[in-house]
Amino acid sequence: MTVGDVGPPPLARASVDRAARHRTDPQWLARAWDRSRVLVVDSAAGGRAFVRDDGAGAGLGLVLVGPEQAPAVAVEDRIFLGTDDDGTPIFAVDAVLSAAGSDADGSPAARLVTVRDVGHLLGDRDAGLFTTAAALVSWHARHPYAASTGLATRAVDGGWSRVDSGGARSWPRTDPAVIALLTDGVAGPAGRCLLANHHARRGDGQHRLYSCLAGFVEPGESAEAAVAREVAEEVGMTLSRSAYVASQSWPFPGTLMLGYLAYVDPEQPIRPDPEEIVRARWFSRAEVSAILAGERVDSGDGFVVRLAPPASIAAYLIHSWVAD
């Protein structure tokens, strides 16, 4: 199987050396903090951080501050993300942020965003940093107690583990999920893909958001089996085959999205699950191309079609299929 050459998924990019060997060396981490750059992320606001235009035409970049400008947190709550190309250590801390503080770095252009908002607009380094930091601060915020003992935990290993008073450890978990773009396998403008409007993303009074089918991999299940099950559950169709395309992190709060192209016989009836799907229908490659070009396409029930947000792997799968 081939797809159009559109590069890696937007949140599957990174250039920072994670330097995991330093995570268990508290003396090295303490020295590294003094010469580091720090990314401040607000877990309570969905993992938001500040970005700004670099003023040099390179687009958006994360606002990183020096350790003296970073919010005061306990030493163990400094999350070590890795080292930059020049060896500069980079940390993340979790703190409450507000738009009123956007000029703290001297730049009135700074604004507060999530990975979902700007992940596709960031360079490789910042996309990787923001995705990792958002996932980690969310995990720490949601795991103040050990699941096995109920005891309070504290962060260790540069923020990559938590431990309770009895020594029970836990590590950041990533939940695998599959996401599939259904197609009829036909080449050219007449080829079609099936997209769905989910209840969780109904849209507004004028638009309906159409995207791929997705769901978590269940215990004892392969990713390919999960694709087939989700397609059957959500639209009542049977796959002829599926093919893995790419993966990316989706830190809301901690998912690894496994992207697939799935092939179905378009003569099968579409039977949407009323609990999950508002509407599902076939779109030609020409229609999807028009939507991506900013043209208005009616969903068939009086609403204008909008597609998945550009930072998502759903958008990546759609773009790949159109470019194929």
Tens of pLDDT along 37-61? 999 999 999 999 999 986 655 679 9
Domain ranges of the chain: 20-170, 175-323
Task: Kindly tell me if the per-residue pLDDT of 107 is higher than 80.
Answer: no
* Per-residue confidence band for 102, with pLDDT thresholds at 50, 70 and 90: very low
Percentage of residues in the chain with pLDDT exceeding 90? 88
**Tokens standing for 148?**
């096995």
Q: What average pLDDT does range 260-273 have in this prediction? A: 97
Q: Which pLDDT score, from 0 to 100, does residue 53 have?
A: 86
Integer Cα distance of 283 and 118 in angstroms = 27
21: left (phi over 0), alpha (psi -120 to 50) or beta: alpha
Integer Cα distance of 240 and 284 in angstroms = 19
Of 89-93, 109-113, 135-139, 302-306, which gets the smallest average pLDDT? 109-113
Q: Which pLDDT score, from 0 to 100, does residue 305 have?
A: 96
Task: Kindly tell me if the per-residue pLDDT of 174 is higher than 60.
Answer: yes
Backbone φ and ψ of 231, nearest 5°: -65, -45
Q: pTM higher than 0.85, yes or no?
A: yes
> Comparing 25 with 202, which gets the higher pLDDT?
25
Q: Which pLDDT score, from 0 to 100, does residue 5 have?
A: 61
For the chain, the residue count is 324
Number of separate helices (H) and strands (E) present in the chain: 6, 18
Q: Identify each DSSP E strand in 184-295 by its residue range.
A: 192-198, 207-210, 213-216, 239-250, 255-264, 277-284
DSSP letter (8 states) at residue 218: P
Q: Which residues contact 123 (CB under 8 A, 6 or more apart)?
A: 58, 59, 61
For the chain, the straight-line distance linking the first and the last C-alpha, in angstroms and rounded, comes to 10
Q: What average pLDDT does range 6-31 have in this prediction? A: 96
| H helical segments located in 67-191 | 115-118, 124-142
Q: Does domain 20-170 have CATH number 3.90.79?
A: yes
Using the structure block, give the residue that is written with the tokens 């209840």. Answer: 199
Q: Do domains 20-170 and 175-323 have the same CATH topology?
A: yes
Q: What average pLDDT does range 90-107 have in this prediction? A: 73
**Tokens standing for 102?**
């956007």
Q: Which residues contact 277 (CB under 8 A, 6 or more apart)?
A: 196, 197, 198, 199, 234, 235
> Comparing 3 with 26, which gets the higher pLDDT?
26
Using the structure block, give the residue that is written with the tokens 């947190």. Answer: 73
Q: Which pLDDT score, from 0 to 100, does residue 58 have?
A: 63
* Per-residue confidence band for 2, with pLDDT thresholds at 50, 70 and 90: very low
Tens of pLDDT along 216-246? 999 999 999 999 999 999 999 999 999 999 9
Backbone φ and ψ of 181, nearest 5°: -95, 115
Q: What residue type is assigned to position 104 of the chain?
A: A
* Per-residue confidence band for 1, with pLDDT thresholds at 50, 70 and 90: very low
> Comparing 149 with 104, which gets the higher pLDDT?
149
Task: Kindly tell me if the per-residue pLDDT of 316 is higher than 50.
Answer: yes
Q: Which pLDDT score, from 0 to 100, does residue 71 have?
A: 96
Which of these, 303, 308, 216, lies nearest to 257 by C-alpha position? 216
> Comparing 57 with 117, which gets the higher pLDDT?
117
Q: Does domain 175-323 have CATH number 3.90.79.10?
A: yes
